Chain A
Amino acid sequence: MRGLTHGYRTSRGWLGVLDDVTFVIPPGGFATLTGPSGAGKTTLLSVLGGLERVQTGEVSVGEHDLAHLGGDALAAFRRQVVGFVFQDFGLLEVLTARENVEVARALAGVPARQRRQEAGELLAAVGLSGRETHRPGQLSGGERQRVAIARALANGPQLVLADEPTGNLDGRSSQMVLELLESLPKLAGVSVVVVTHNPAVAERAPIRLRIADGHLAIAAGTPSSRGGPP
């Protein structure tokens, strides 16, 4: 990401949220993003994940240049390149754990039998064997978040973006989810960015980004802070 400037038009005029943000996360990197409320963490994640169009600057994930994507291409980017994990899990309540994972594969056009098998394997990988037919309401918070992680991994993404993934979890569940997210770079070669308010969580990451008043600071880690390739 290089020179990203982003804002919103409001009834009181233009509201700048991100100002000339630049950073690089190497493939298989694990980063945390901290900052006060309203600093622009979620906006940064949204742009990085293709939920919003790039306004000014360059944003690339792998070989995908987001500044030139829009509409269906951006949807395909979200489907194939990134996976999202949310604080409130973002699961479809009417579907079972397996069907929630399957939805991501269904959107990618994978045949039913294949995606059913893959969803089962992914759930087993996150420790949810035997919970495939449970609906989100029948699962604990930690289990729901693991279903969300399985879904995020369903289409083999290059980047997983987690927005406060432990915000609604107790200590033990938080620990399990964090360990799972931390294992992703090694297990699947996926880059992971975790937004968190928890300093203890942030401290565990090799790359620590901090954002305040729209400006990004590299608290620790290896990536170049400015000028390097995104």
Chain B
Amino acid sequence: MRWRDALGLVTRELRRRAGRSALTVAAVALAATLLTALVTIASTAQDRVLSEVTTGGPLAGIKVVAAAPDPSQIGRDDATPGPPKPLDDGAVARIRALKDVAAVYPIVSVPVIVVTPPRIAVAGAPTPPTGADEPSTTAAPGTPGVGPNEPFGDSIVGVPLARSGQLPVTILVGRLPSPTSQSEVVITTEFLNRLHLSISEAGAVIGSQVEIGFPRAFGRGFNRARWMHPVIVGVADQDAGSGELLGSMELAVLGRDWIAAGGPAGAAQFGLQPTTYTGLYVIADRLDRVSTVRTAITAVGYSTSAPENLIASVRRYLRVVEIVLAGVGAIALVVAALGIANALFAAVRERRREIGVLKVIGARDRDVRRVFVLEALVIGTCGGVIGAAAGTLTAATVGAAVNRYLTTQGIAGIRLVVSLPLLALAVIGSAALAVVAGLAPALRAARLPPREAIAG
């Protein structure tokens, strides 16, 4: 029997048992969907996320502080800084010129007096001070938080918000301030804790104005603050600098210059370091260059820290995830193969009489085998095509969800990598798997003695 004739017989049989054929195809399609989706997502993650991380990004970031390095701490991820050392534009230029440095982002952390928003104030707490240019508090920067609605001293961290995707800043609720805005800030979870609010209750504080004052010494014990009322636009986790408020570089520089105008002694009184920048965030070209760049910055004379051990751990966990995904895919394939074999064994049982008829009228063993192998091939190919399409769709859906999240974080989205060889492999692999699973039933059918088969 020719292949074409066998195919005609197979298609008619599949149509006759449409329900079972559809279920068997669905089993193969499900496995192919799972495999295609997992591999597409994994390869996208591998190719795009990891490569982006390893070619620069938060994981390849090195924190530099305005302090000399402590020689005994250099090899540690969270090295303790040595004595303070000014970090100016000259130092930034020197670090930017180092080999394997992709980018350098300045950070300015400024002491500030904070008054919590009245609308979320706890009943019974003191009323916040009102009116600008009034030294409305006795709390000095550096004083621990004293509870809702009471002024406390803290710091505001100014970063280049236009590059937030490259900085260790993660928006949890709301959004980041506009890049140059002096009227918007985000608060950290520590600030929320101070207000006795959980992250799920953060919406209560977003849109509120927080009152901040940059203190300045005017000599002879007279101090006054420049009061501002920025709006809280989001809640974020940040590791760029020490402070419960995060804002634009312009806002922080404004505060820094106001405090510094009170003179070195006055600035020191409020904890402002005598440096242009309190820190830098340096991005290495590649993840494996982080250590080299840290050493070079240390040689320039500044203390650094980087999550090198964390990166190594992340890479190990990613490898584990890859193995698990491959395992899930393999299990799906085995389940699909068992489904095909089961369906074909059932078909052989049901069609003994038909096999017998074919043999009686002269079909050879290989003719019968060809019919069943072809049936498995048709099932596998149909399942593979459907599964490849559904898998791509699934991966695209997941990719869209990831992109939505990344966009809220101010990070460029990931473009899904749809690999044509992968799709071809899914179809061919499903077909091959089906043929392998169908071999045993096909051999069983082919070996049926004609007389036994015709007896049904």
Contact = CB atoms under 8 A, between A and B. Distances in A.
B16 interface: yes
A89 to B, nearest CB: 9
B357 interface: yes
Interface string A103-130: 1101111001000000000000000000
Interface residues of B, number: 26
A75 B363 CA distance: 6
B220 interface: no
Contacts, number: 74
A80 B363 CA distance: 11
B354 A46 contact: no
Contacts of A79: 361-363
Given A75-B363, A84-B361, A93 B1 contact: no
A75 B449 CA distance: 11
Q: Classify the interface of chain B: helix, strand, loop or mixed.
A: helix
A159 to B, nearest CB: 13
A90 B15 CA distance: 20
B205 to A, nearest CB: 71
B315 interface: no
Nearest to A102: B5
Interface in B1-54: 1-2, 4-5, 9, 12-13, 15-16
B63 interface: no
Contacts of B360: 49, 51, 78, 84, 90
A71 B365 contact: yes
Contact of B1 (A51, A107, A112, A151): A107
Given A51-B359, A51-B454, A103-B5, 15 more contacts: A46-B451, A52-B449, A76-B362, A78-B359, A78-B360, A79-B362, A80-B362, A84-B360, A90-B356, A92-B357, A94-B16, A106-B2, A107-B362, A107-B363, A112-B5
25 contacts: A51-B450, A51-B454, A52-B450, A52-B451, A71-B364, A72-B364, A72-B365, A75-B359, A75-B363, A78-B450, A79-B361, A90-B357, A90-B360, A90-B454, A92-B354, A94-B16, A95-B12, A103-B361, A104-B361, A106-B5, A107-B362, A107-B363, A108-B362, A112-B5, A151-B361
Interface of A: 46, 49, 51-52, 71-72, 75-76, 78-80, 83-84, 86, 90-95, 103-104, 106-109, 112, 151, 155
